Amino acid sequence: MSTQLTYEERDLVAALRQKDDQAFGYLYEHYAGALHGVIKQVVGDAELGNDVLQETFVNIWRRIDSYDESKGRLFTWMLNIARNAAIDKTRSKGFQQSQRQIPLDGEVVQPSVRPGIDDFGLKRLILKLKDEQRLLIDLSYFQGYTHEQIATALHIPLGTVKTRIRSALTQLRVLLS
Amino acid sequence: MNIKEYISSGIIESYVLGLVSDTERDEFEALCAQYPEIASARNAFEAALEEQLLRDAVAPSPQLRQQVQEKLANISAVPAIDSAEESGTPVRRMGAWRWLAAASLILLAVASYMLVNSHNKYNELAAENHSLRNQLEQSSNQLAAMQQDAQMLQSPGMKMAALKGTPHAPQALATIYWDTASNRKDVYLMINNLPQPPSGKQYQLWALLDGKPIDLGVFDMNVRQTRLLVKMQNVQKAQAFAITLEPNGGSHSPTMDDMYVQGAL
């Protein structure tokens, strides 16, 4: 099965590079929901999620030539575009005025699990991690803070932040498989 | 290098999820190309992640697809300006849009600076303009007044008396213009040359009739700056005129010792 998928993906990428509308339609049908789920978990708002998803597909369309299959799967590439766009949106002024912000200045309040946002996908998986690990994944992956920013905010040495995130991610891999 | 340890260090997940630094990314990609085990471990994690996220997909609103298609149609019509090179795992980079945003911020700052500058310049010029206008108005008024005085000197019934300096002040000189043609018989004084009075003192003009002085008022020296002629009090009859130096406000009778000029008609 995986051979067939890889082959299809190669065809799909080739067609996308030709700016083939049909291939793009397939891409949207197939992946919009998965990308949307992650975007929604980052921005936490359905309408904003739609905006970001639209930006994501525009970016995919524009940048498909820069996708390098030797560096990873198409989905991984698209997922990173989606996550970056979502985090960019949360950094915009309008968003910060309208949303509750977790202050990254020392005292971090662990938010409760929001239904429809935190109870599926990666967020559901990381609920199974220790609080401390879940917080680190949330701050780094879903909120886009750098390791340095997290170290400063939580008063943890940078090396420790990195080690703990890595360890949380290896557990995430176990939970995925 | 221990490949197994590297694979289980969490670097693969960090790389795939976009949580590595630029250095770590470059290193990981180099090692992936070198060691197939690393590449296949990466592929396995990517596949598991993709599978999980596809399973937990959240369908976007149905209209969105149409919106995306319309947007793409617009973009296709216009050549893309965003050709930012993007690697397999896009991490946050300064894309063309960010450069554009940065450039426009700089442009905005420069424009604001220039705006403030030119606004200040404008204020300066406006103030200068205002003060020039005031000066012009003042000068025009002075000129008009002096022209009026000059015209009066030419009127036919105007009598003139030159008041010459006394031994007390030989250089002193003043001129009386007496408009005997008018009913009011206005008296005007031209100060040709009088020394500046000491403080507390003022000059006073007198008309002399049959040896008696008639007070025609005091005057200040600075009137010369704006008028040729100083209008004094009227007198119906006079044979001569004289100016004495008196305490401020003038005196009832002239202080003869302090007479500066005098002259008959």
Please report the domains of chain A, with CATH numbers, ordered by start residue. Answer: 2-98 (1.10.1740.10), 121-176 (1.10.10.10)
Distance CA B194, CA B172 (A): 5
Residue B88 has a pLDDT of 46
Indicate yes or no: CB of B45 within 8 angstroms of CB of A173.
Answer: yes
Q: Given CB atoms, is A26 within the 8 Å cutoff of chain B?
A: no
pLDDT of B13: 96
Q: Which ranges of chain A would DSSP assign to H, the alpha helix? A: 2-17, 21-43, 46-63, 74-91, 93-98, 121-126, 131-137, 147-154, 158-176
Collect the ranges in chain B with pLDDT lower than 50: 83-88, 90
- Look at residue A96 in the predicted model and tell me its pLDDT: 63
For residues B141 and B133, give the distance between their C-alpha atoms in angstroms, rounded to a whole number: 12
Contacts of A17 (CB under 8 A, 6+ apart): A64, A65
User: Which residues face B257 on adjacent strands?
Assistant: none
Distance CA B205, CA B244 (A): 7
Q: What is the mean pLDDT of chain A?
A: 85
CA angle (B30 as vertex; A81, B5 as ends), nearest 5: 95
Q: Quick one: pLDDT at residue B78?
A: 63
Angle at A17 between CA A14 and CA A20, to 5 degrees: 90
Residues of chain A with pLDDT under 70: 1-7, 93-112
Distance CA A158, CA A151 (A): 5
**Main-chain phi, psi angles of B39, to 5 degrees:** -60, -40
Specify the pLDDT at position B119.
87
Give the closest of A53, A54, A62 to B82, CB-based: A62
Backbone angles phi, psi at B241, to 5 degrees: -135, 155
Tokens encoding B186: 């206005």
User: How confident is the model at residue B226, as a pLDDT?
Assistant: 74
pLDDT of residue B50: 95
The beta-carbon neighbor of B19 closest among A121, A125, A140 is A140
**Whole-number pLDDT of residue A5:** 47
pTM of the model: 0.56
> What's the farthest any 2 CA atoms get from each other in chain B?
137
A49 close to B (CB below 8 A): yes
pLDDT at residue number A98: 56
What local confidence, expressed as pLDDT, does residue B85 receive?
45
Rounded CA-CA distance B153/B18 in Å is 99
Burial of B71 (C-beta count, 10 Å sphere; 0-12/13-18/19+)? middle
The whole-angstrom separation of Cα B21 and Cα B8 is 18
Q: What is the pLDDT of residues A33-74, one digit of tens each?
A: 999 999 999 998 888 899 999 999 999 999 999 999 999 999
Interface test with B, best of A10, A30, A79 (most B CBs within 10 A): A79
Domains of chain B and any CATH numbers: 3-58 (no CATH), 158-264 (2.60.40)
Would you state the pLDDT for residue B81?
53
* B76, containing H or E segment: helix B63-77
Chain A: residue nearest B7 by CA?
A170
